[in-house]
Amino acid sequence: MYIMTTFMILALIFWLAVTAALIYLFILLVKALKKYIASKEVRAEKSIVRKSLGEFLKENRLRCRMTQEFVAESLGVSRQAVSKWEGGISDPSTSNLLALAKLYGVPAEELLRNIGI
């Protein structure tokens, strides 16, 4: 009888802990969703900035009469990476951004200044 009561108490404590953990996770999920929804303007602005950087990189590449493949080989990256940078899908790393500035013959500050960061 004593063992059975102890077992029932332990089972009750276990299920209370599981229930509390699930409620806590639900609360965290709701908070994360609220924060994500509130960040809509920031995400939209970031998308515009990325697009501007991509456009500026493409303008400079075309001004220098280079192909994406040539730029990719010069930097040691894939042509797809250059395409993603110009399309605004991803951003080049700092070292790649500096290498692009050198390749295009513009100061790195100009790349960043013209995109409105």
Task: Tell me, yes or no, whether 4 and 49 share the same domain.
Answer: no
Half-sphere exposure of 89 (CA within 13 A, CB side): 6
Q: Which pTM was predicted?
A: 0.56
Q: What is the pLDDT of residues 35-86, one digit of tens each?
A: 988 888 887 777 666 567 888 899 999 999 999 999 999 999 999 999 999 9
Q: What is the CATH number of the domain that holds 96?
A: 1.10.260.40
Per the structure, how many domains does the chain have? 2
Task: Tell me, yes or no, whether 27 and 74 share the same domain.
Answer: no
Task: Tell me, yes or no, whether 5 and 17 share the same domain.
Answer: yes
Burial of 77 (0-12, 13-18, 19+ CB in 10 A): middle
Domain residues for 97? 42-113
Task: Tell me, yes or no, whether 27 and 61 share the same domain.
Answer: no
